[in-house]
Amino acid sequence: MNILIGLIPALFWGILPLCVSKIGGKPTQQIMGTTMGVLLTGIVASLLFFPMRLDAWAFFLCFLSGASWAFGQINQYRAFTQIGVSQTMPLSTGMQLVGTSLMGVVAFGDWGTVQAKVIGAVALTLIIIGIWMTTKQEHPEPHSGGNMRAGVITLLISTIGYVGYSFFPNYVSVDGWYKFMPQSVGMVVAAITMSMLTRDGTRPWDKKSLQNIICGVIFSGAALAYLVSIEPHRNGVASGFTLSQMNVIISTLGSILLLGEKKTRLELLYVLGGLALVVIGGVLIGTL
């Protein structure tokens, strides 16, 4: 049952980049719409099912978690415009897996036995090799090197935010459901702040932002399940996070089939082989 809970975020987070890319807009509009959708879901969930039960310090930590996510997500949206979804998602997944899994092991004692650490290391190695395979290009375009460098830098920056998103809630000793509302507040505040600081000639409160609210609702389904999954008595941070990153399968294949991102026959074989390694690594970690 815990593994199934851990895979729910993978489904919805895999759909999220496809939804955002289909709707379009600038990254500031996309992050505003996404976070507004999350906040609306958080308000409804809090009123109907999970009234907030946090003291001021716990609220602050969850607020920081949400703000960290918004910082990571807007940079991932920027990477979509630099190197495309099918390149962004595998790279982002690899960076997040390394950062968050190591944080879970070092800070929270996940994978406590030697055997678990060995299996975890093998699984991470398989996943990283698989992710590298999904980014292989048979005939790189002349400008692709510069775009790739820019995309990698953007994703390294985004990883800092994603690690913070997983890190802060573990210092709050309540069920994951009750962390969601303050996280959503942190997301919106961070999104508004970044939109004000980013001068890209767009208005954050326009039609594209409103259309992207549905993406926030999709994200909320993943986030609620993820908060439950990473609790210590379920999957923990390292395993819960790694299971959630199976979203790379849905987002990568979806970007090729639905968004029309082109792959040669050889590149597609690399993608399928790489995704197979990602699945094997995820299954291994799910057993820990």
In the 3-class helix/strand/coil scheme, how is 82-102 assigned residue by residue?
Answer: HHCHHHHHHHHHHHHHHHHHH
If one counts every other C-beta atom within 10 angstroms of the C-beta of residue 2, the result is: 17
CA distance 192 to 201: 15
> What mean pLDDT is predicted for residues 28-44?
94
pLDDT, mean over the chain: 86
Checking if the pLDDT of 102 tops 90, the result is no
If one counts every other C-beta atom within 10 angstroms of the C-beta of residue 212, the result is: 24
> What mean pLDDT is predicted for residues 230-257?
82
CA distance 53 to 5: 23
> What mean pLDDT is predicted for residues 36-46?
92
Look up residue 228 and give its two tokens.
Answer: 């439950």
Checking if the pLDDT of 96 tops 70, the result is yes
Q: pLDDT confidence of 211, banded at 50, 70, 90?
A: very high
Q: Report yes or no: 52 and 113 within 8 Å, Cβ to Cβ.
A: no
Q: What is the pTM of this model?
A: 0.84
CA distance 175 to 170: 10
pLDDT value of position 237: 72
Supply the angle between the helices 114-134 and 265-286 in degrees, to the nearest 10. Answer: 160
pLDDT value of position 170: 78
